[in-house]
Structure 1
Amino acid sequence: MAANEDQEMELEALRSIYEGDDCFKELGPTVFQYRVGDIGDQKSFLVEISWPETYPESAPNISMNAFFNNQISQAVKKCIVNKLQEQVEANLGTAMTYTLFEYAKDNKEEFMESHQPLNNSLTSIGNDCTLEPTNTTQSGKKKDKKEQLTKAQKRKLADKTDHKGELPRGWNWVDVIKVNLDHLLMFGKW
């Protein structure tokens, strides 16, 4: 059987297996994505597999570069891809996309056990994908952002201040006479 016939058969099988599964996405006839985990889960990730022209005789391309994975460190992504590549070598010559997606689902916890929040970084030790967390902040809390002013707000503030950046005395005082006149006119007592 030619590689294209094998690809067509695997494509039909994938479509029937993952029909109605919102985790599976066919981006093209030879490019597929599978989301492992729920959308709100911090340990979920997206695996993308694309077939070269000679697949399944040659290895598929595995990528973790989707925007969905931007919260995952490069070390964890590399570890996941390396583990999936081991499965590719074991299954070379056979249809393996389903096998790779299922392997990723079955081993999600192991793959993501060293996944840390954004303010922590990971360093890889050796090539066995052992990861050691390195805490980059002492408190482990996210820093609060300062409120950002728009250009118009900055201009108004600059117009109100003097050359030292201080507001002039009485800048927020209320014109008592104007307020009283407005009050009298409003209630018809003028």
Structure 2
Amino acid sequence: MAANEDQEMELEALRSIYEGDDCFKEISAVSFQFRIGDLEDTKAFLVDITWPETYPETGPQLSLDTFFNNRLSAETKQTILSKLEEQVEANLGTAMMYTLFEWAKENQEALMEHHKPLVTTVTLTSSSEVRAPVSAAKKKEKKLQLTKAQKKRMISRTDNKGELPRGWNWVDVIKVGAFQPSHT
């Protein structure tokens, strides 16, 4: 059988096996993502797989460079990839995606044995926080005071629900000089 026929058959099998499974995602006919573990699990990871033209005679390209894996250390990623590559080598020439996925699920604990989640925190400080704090008693919020005439105009513009009509604050834009009669 030609490599493309093998790929088509495996693709159909994968679609039928993982139909409705949110762990499996078909990006294209030759590119897939498979999540090992639950979304909330700190030991979960996402494998990106791409088939070369000669797959399954040559192994698929495996990657852990997705955003989902940003909490994995480089060492953990390398361990997972090397163990998956061993499985690829053992299954060359055959449809191996299901085998890889199931092997990874069964060996998730061993693959993530030395995993320590990377935590990155970002602290934002505004310029007002840098200065000396001002007590709430000293800094009093100014309340907007409307005149009687302003209140009446506002009420006259609103509908029965107290809402302003659509477009009440739109500005008409007039292009000056767009049409000028000629003086001949």
- Does TM, normalized by the shorter one, top 0.5? yes
State the TM-score, normalizing by the size of structure 2. 0.68
1:13 corresponds to 2:10: no
Distance in 1 (alpha carbons) for counterparts of 2:55 and 2:139: 77
Higher relative contact order (CA 8 A, sep 6+): 2
Distance in 1 (alpha carbons) for counterparts of 2:16 and 2:100: 17
Distance in 2 (alpha carbons) for counterparts of 1:27 and 1:42: 24
Partner of 2:59: 59
Work out the number of aligned pairs and report it.
138
How far did residue 107 of structure 1 move?
Answer: 0.4
Deviations 1:51-85 (A, max 9, x none): 00000011110111111000000100010000000
Residues 149 and 49 from structure 1, CA distance in 2 versus in 1: closer, same or farther, beyond 3 angstroms?
A: same
Gaps of 5+ in 1: 120-141, 158-164, 175-190
How far did residue 32 of structure 1 move?
Answer: 0.8
**Which residue among 172, 176, 180 is the counterpart of 2:138?**
172
Partner of 1:49: 49
Partner of 2:3: 3
Partner of 2:81: 81
- The answer (yes or no) to whether the contact 2:37–2:45 under 8 Å persists in 1 is yes
Residues 146 and 57 from structure 1, CA distance in 2 versus in 1: closer, same or farther, beyond 3 angstroms?
A: closer
Distance in 1 (alpha carbons) for counterparts of 2:59 and 2:100: 12
Q: Secondary structure at the match of 1:20?
A: coil
RMSD: 2.6
> What one-letter code is carried by the residue in structure 2 that aligns with 1:100?
L
> What one-letter code is carried by the residue in structure 1 that aligns with 2:138?
N
Distance in 2 (alpha carbons) for counterparts of 1:16 and 1:36: 19
> What one-letter code is carried by the residue in structure 1 that aligns with 2:3?
A
How far did residue 166 of structure 1 move?
Answer: 7.1
Partner of 2:37: 37
Partner of 1:149: 126
How far did residue 147 of structure 1 move?
Answer: 5.3
Q: Which protein is richer in strand relative to its size?
A: 1
Partner of 2:166: none
State the TM-score, normalizing by the size of structure 1. 0.66
> What one-letter code is carried by the residue in structure 2 that aligns with 1:106?
E
> What one-letter code is carried by the residue in structure 1 that aligns with 2:73?
S
Residues 40 and 91 from structure 1, CA distance in 2 versus in 1: closer, same or farther, beyond 3 angstroms?
A: same
How far did residue 117 of structure 1 move?
Answer: 3.0
Partner of 1:105: 105
Q: Secondary structure at the match of 2:46?
A: strand
> What one-letter code is carried by the residue in structure 2 that aligns with 1:40?
E
Q: Secondary structure at the match of 1:15?
A: helix
